[in-house]
Structure 1
Amino acid sequence: MDRPPGLSVRVKLTLSYAGFLMLAGALLMAAVWVFLLRYVPDRALLTNAEDIPTGVFPVRSELLRIFAPRAAAVMALLLVFGLVGGWFLAGRMLAPLTRITHATRLATNGSLSHRIRLPGRKDEFRELADAFDTMLVQLEAHVAEQQRFAANASHELRTPLAVSKTLLDVARTDPNHDTGEVIDRLHAINTRAIDLTEALLLLSRANQRSFTREHVDLSLLAEEATETLLPLAEKHDVTIETSGDIAPTIGSQALLLQLTMNLVQNAIVHNLPEQGTVWVNTSVRPKTAVLTVENTGENISPRLVSTLTEPFQRSTERIHTDHAGVGLGLAIVKTITQAHDGTLTLTPRSAGGIRIAVELPATAPHTDR
């Protein structure tokens, strides 16, 4: 925003220091003068009347003649001292602000790796500098994550488009090619691209927090998700066990249902080849409502677990089915959880598989009236 030029903060502080010093000096001079007037009479009789014919001496007038020029000299000295000292002190006080301004300009130009790292003990400027450094760290990480996400999304979207183009080119150059096979493969590829696009839109919606909040019971969402995904579980020879209590929270029922569906589907697909198990549990803690999804499966290292919530990350490559997902399942879970001010915890099970817990702010049970 364009602003008209004005005095710098350093000049304003310098003038303030000098003005305050001048005011203090003037008050001191006034106090001295008042003090002297209390003990000096207006005119005093002389003991030796021969010195002055009138026999009296004007004491106050003589004192004023001597005091006034010296007081003026002191005030001038105070003015010079206030301006010079104020300019120096203002510069020292504003030095941290100059460093913060420099870092802000670097960040504005795209340099997010720069840090202020203001030395010294804690004060207002150092709190501001530390807060700004923390913001830069988070902003740099967010930008890097968005760049990785954009690159991965572009790659994931480009792959089905490239395969579709290849199939169409083959069908056009080879009239004897099986048209039905080409249509089936194009349908599968197109379905995957649509799923990916819808997942990206869901991520964007959750990130923007553009949803209506209402009372939601996580236990009902868990029941709905398990019933919907029961055919998929039977297909993969996986048993789903549900348990728990009413777990009320506030949020988007559609988004929280999507979160629950993603967790249960992920637990079914990434499970043992035969006789796998998924445990879905809801519970209430003093301040949070908890949804826990746990499954059997292969052993997963803690290092790999820490990356599973990143977009387009998959725990294994052993599953290649129509329900393998687009690599955004847990990323969507993480985004929805954060949009509801919750926490997401992933813990590998010692016997294999993973335990995922979603904690959301708890509310009192809601009853319709």
Structure 2
Amino acid sequence: MDRPPGLSVRLKLTLSYAGFLMVAGGLLLAVVWVFLLRYVPDAGPRVRAPGSGPDRSDLLRAFAPAATWAVVFLLVFGLLGGWILAGRMLAPLSRITDATRMAANGSLSHRIRLEGREDEFRELADVFDAMLARHEAHIAEQQRFAANASHELRTPLAIMQALLDVARTDPNGNTAELVDRLHTVNARAIELTQALLLLSRADQGIMTREQVDLSLTAEEATETLLPLAEKHGVTIETSGDMAPTSGSPALLLQMTMNLLHNAIVHNLPERGTVQVSTAVRPGFVMLTVENTGDKLSPQLVATLTEPFQRGTERVRTDHAGVGLGLAIVNRIVQAHDGALTLAPRAAGGLRVMVRLPRA
């Protein structure tokens, strides 16, 4: 925004300090003046006796030049001292301004790190440093995510390109097999694209908040994924009370579907189980999804919410997924001001706990 030039804050503070000092000095001189007028007798036209003290006129004639010089001294002292004090007071603000200018030019690694005890300027500097750190981390995450997304999308497209090149050089090949393979690869590309769009929607917080019962959401997700569970030989057990929260019904359903889907496909080869439960606590509600499976290390579990981290120890050969299931869950939980906790089960498998504010 273009603004007309104006006085600097330092000059304004200097004038304010000097003006206040002049007013205080003027009031003090006025008090002295009134004192002289009231308590010092006036000799009038009478002849003053030899050896008597000075009268009011003598004191006023002596006071006027001294008061003038005092006013001039206060003005000079106020301007000089005010300029120095204002400079010292505004020095932290100059550092904050320089850091802001550097951040506006794209340098997010710079920090103010204002030393000294706590005050308004240091609180502002600390908040600004924290904001820069979060923004820098967010930008780095977005760049890493964009690179990973580009790599993931390139893979199915490259496969389809290779299949088409082979078909073009071999017109007598098996067309039905080619179509089936293209359909499989294309379905994976569509699944990945939909997951990326959903993840972006969760990041941007684009949602209409309504009251949602997580227990009903869990039942709906269970009914939807029951055929998949039967196909994998997994038994789903649901329990819990009504768990009212506020948020997007579509996103919360997608969150629960992703948790159940992961629990089903990353399970034991035979007789696996998935336990879904909801609970109400003071101020928040809980959704817990546990599944049997192989034993997982805490180091592996800590990486499962990162985008495109499939966890090679958990990947089933018949359903590798796109590596965004738990990443989407994590973003949806964050968009609803909640917390996501993952922990390996001692007997094998994973326990996922979602904590959301209670409606």
TM-score range, shorter chain: over 0.9
2:69 maps to amino acid: A
39-48 or 122-131, which deviates more? 39-48
**Partner in structure 2 of residue 367 of structure 1:** none
**Partner in structure 1 of residue 31 of structure 2:** 31
Shift, 1:309, TM fit: 1.1
**Partner in structure 2 of residue 220 of structure 1:** 216
1:231 and 1:57 map into 2 onto residues whose CA distance is 116
Of 62, 66, 69, the residue aligned with 2:62 is 66
- Contact 2:294 2:314 survives alignment (8 Å): no
Shift, 1:144, TM fit: 0.7
Shift, 1:134, TM fit: 0.7
**Partner in structure 2 of residue 3 of structure 1:** 3
Alignment deviations for residues 76-133 of structure 1 (CA, whole Å, 9 cap, x no partner): 1111111111111111111111111111111111111111111111110111011011
**Partner in structure 2 of residue 366 of structure 1:** none
- Contact 1:43 1:57 survives alignment (8 Å): no
- Contact 2:36 2:56 survives alignment (8 Å): no
Of 147, 151, 158, the residue aligned with 1:155 is 151
**Partner in structure 1 of residue 191 of structure 2:** 195
SS of 1:243's equivalent in the other structure is: strand
Of 163, 167, 176, the residue aligned with 1:167 is 163
* TM-score, with structure 1 as normaliser: 0.93
Change in CA separation of 1:58 and 1:226 when aligned onto 2, cut-off 3 Å:
same
1:87 and 1:256 map into 2 onto residues whose CA distance is 59
1:348 and 1:5 map into 2 onto residues whose CA distance is 63
2:164 and 2:105 map into 1 onto residues whose CA distance is 45
**Partner in structure 2 of residue 128 of structure 1:** 124
Of 115, 118, 132, the residue aligned with 1:119 is 115
**Partner in structure 2 of residue 331 of structure 1:** 327
- Percent identity between the aligned chains? 74
Of 79, 82, 89, the residue aligned with 1:86 is 82
Shift, 1:31, TM fit: 0.9
SS of 1:229's equivalent in the other structure is: helix
| Structure 2: gaps (5+ residues) | none
Change in CA separation of 1:67 and 1:47 when aligned onto 2, cut-off 3 Å:
closer
1:319 and 1:304 map into 2 onto residues whose CA distance is 12
- Contact 2:265 2:316 survives alignment (8 Å): no
Of 205, 208, 211, the residue aligned with 1:209 is 205
**Partner in structure 1 of residue 41 of structure 2:** 41
Of 278, 286, 308, the residue aligned with 1:290 is 286
1:34 maps to amino acid: V
Q: Does 1:359 align with 2:355?
A: yes
1:262 and 1:270 map into 2 onto residues whose CA distance is 12
- Contact 1:46 1:57 survives alignment (8 Å): no
Number of equivalenced pairs: 358
2:49 and 2:204 map into 1 onto residues whose CA distance is 97
1:219 maps to amino acid: S
Of 297, 303, 323, the residue aligned with 1:307 is 303
113-122 or 268-277, which deviates more? 268-277
Change in CA separation of 1:138 and 1:311 when aligned onto 2, cut-off 3 Å:
same
Shift, 1:37, TM fit: 1.6
2:185 and 2:22 map into 1 onto residues whose CA distance is 82
2:49 maps to amino acid: N
- Contact 2:266 2:316 survives alignment (8 Å): no
150-159 or 268-277, which deviates more? 268-277
Alignment deviations for residues 342-362 of structure 1 (CA, whole Å, 9 cap, x no partner): 111111222222111111111
1:286 and 1:180 map into 2 onto residues whose CA distance is 59
57-66 or 21-30, which deviates more? 57-66
Shift, 1:322, TM fit: 5.9
1:37 maps to amino acid: L
2:212 and 2:295 map into 1 onto residues whose CA distance is 34
2:357 and 2:241 map into 1 onto residues whose CA distance is 16
**Partner in structure 2 of residue 268 of structure 1:** 264
| Structure 1: gaps (5+ residues) | 364-369
Shift, 1:312, TM fit: 0.8
1:48 maps to amino acid: A
Q: Does 1:145 align with 2:141?
A: yes
Shift, 1:57, TM fit: 10
SS of 2:126's equivalent in the other structure is: helix
1:86 and 1:331 map into 2 onto residues whose CA distance is 56
1:307 and 1:187 map into 2 onto residues whose CA distance is 31
1:24 maps to amino acid: A
1:137 and 1:351 map into 2 onto residues whose CA distance is 39
